[in-house]
Amino acid sequence: MKSIIISTGDELLTGSTLDTNTNWIASRLTELDVELICCFTVGDDRDKLLWAIKQATEKAQLVIITGGLGPTDDDLTRFVLAELANSELIEDTHSLTVIENFFRLRNRQMIERNRIQAMIPAGADALDNPVGTAPGIKISIGQATVFALPGVPSEMKRMFDLYVAKWIAQRQPAKIYRKKIHCIGIGESNLVSRLEPIVKKFPQIRFGTTAKGGVITINLAYDKLEAIDAFTSDITGELGDIVLGFDDDTLSSVIGKLLKRRKQSLVTTESCTGGLIAKTITDTAGASEYFAGGFVCYSNELKQKLLGVPEKTLIEHGTVSEQTAEAMAKGAINATNANWSIATTGIAGPTGGTKEKPVGLVYIAIANDSDLVDVQKFLFGNLGRDTVRERATIAALNFLRKYLLDN
């Protein structure tokens, strides 16, 4: 089955609103094994929207439109659908009642303009919106089934799962099994090259990779689960601890599982990363079970006062040094009695670098309550402040992950 997504709204074309709907729908279509052949972004222009929907219905069996179902003059989707279907707009009594009740339950007066949201092309189906006022529309145009959904992301997502996903499931000939294998500490091209013999062993399985945030994800798809499992086993056997996790695992969630399994705690002490490591750890729900807290010590004064970093260390070796990172990591353990600590100190840029200590230099230390301390030096380059901080965060967490696996 081929599909096309159409997002509407001038705000998407001007960049004032980020089109997250297309990204989300594309991911869901992939999960449902529906081929997405292209996406259109169209402003609030009747002729251009007419052109886009006409093109889509001629080339795909499933067309998903988001936006343009509101009560204002620039909400054009229902009018264009009626024109393409050679139908008139009629008032759907049930939809009107639902809209009236929506306002009544909130003690708000429904203005006359909102009645337009109950208008749908004759012959189309109105789709109840359980979280908003605008009903969706399902209509057949040529070879295509068109689903028009609200542009509000929370409403669109709920209605996609209620109507579109169910419609797709009824038409897919076989269940497709999918597996995501997340890898870290290796480049994408090196990963693909290393796995080439295994990929050739399983030619029937769809294999692809994506890279995001320092993590390379291997995507597998096939209609036989046992083949997916065998492929996964071969990959994990080849890559070892390069494999971070599977499916919904993230770097922070994996660390959380390892700490909980050990019944141990973590503290962070950050300079150049400015709290980003602590933020990443607490992105995982339930982090309070193992995350004791974090220090953001930018100044030397706080490094001394809160972490007990010796003034002599800072004078002799500098704030950005192996010795300072080690002292910070030890100090965080002493201050909190946590089992593990991560410390970072570096030069994120764009200024502050020297020939001896360039922008992108970061020292990362790992310590535990058994007197283990290990410091690594990283040179991330002058790639921009945000990138240096992000890469340092990923490197620090992966550094800890490997210790939790090995000790």
Contact 277, 342 (CB under 8 A): yes
The DSSP result for 376-405, as a single string, is: EEEE--SS-HHHHHHHHHHHHHHHHHHHHH
C-alpha span between 231 and 48 (Å, rounded): 46
Tokens of 33: 């094994």
What is the pLDDT at residue 45?
95
Q: Kind and range of the H or E element at 219?
A: strand 215-222
Looking at domain 2-169, its CATH class is alpha beta
Cis status, amide bond into 350, omega within 30 of 0? yes
Give the domain ranges of the chain. 2-169, 177-246, 258-406
* Site of tokens 């996964």: 232
Q: Which residues of 203-233 are buried (b: 16+ CB within 10 A; e: fewer)?
A: eebebeeeeeebbbbbebbbeeeeebeebbe
> Checking phi first, is residue 117 left (phi over 0); if not, alpha (psi -120 to 50) or beta?
alpha
Q: In 3D, which of 282, 406, 272 has the Cα closest to residue 343? A: 272
Contact 205, 220 (CB under 8 A): yes
What is the pLDDT at residue 405?
92
Q: Global pTM?
A: 0.74
C-alpha span between 155 and 174 (Å, rounded): 29
What is the pLDDT at residue 133?
85
- pLDDT (tens digit, 0 to 9) for every residue of the chain, 407 residues total? 899 999 999 999 999 999 999 999 999 998 888 999 999 999 999 999 999 999 999 999 999 999 999 899 899 999 999 999 999 999 999 999 989 888 888 888 888 888 999 999 999 999 999 988 889 999 999 999 999 999 999 999 999 999 999 999 888 766 788 999 999 999 999 999 999 999 999 999 999 999 988 899 999 999 899 999 999 999 999 999 999 999 999 999 999 999 999 999 999 999 999 999 999 999 999 999 999 999 999 999 999 999 999 999 999 999 999 999 999 999 999 999 999 999 999 999 999 999 999 999 999 999 999 999 999 999 999 999 999 999 999 999 999 999 999 86
Q: Which CATH architecture has domain 258-406?
A: Alpha-Beta Complex (3.90)
Q: Is the dihedral of CA 168, 172, 209, 183 positive or negative?
A: positive
Looking at domain 177-246, its CATH class is alpha beta
DSSP three-state, residue 291? strand
* Site of tokens 């500490």: 185
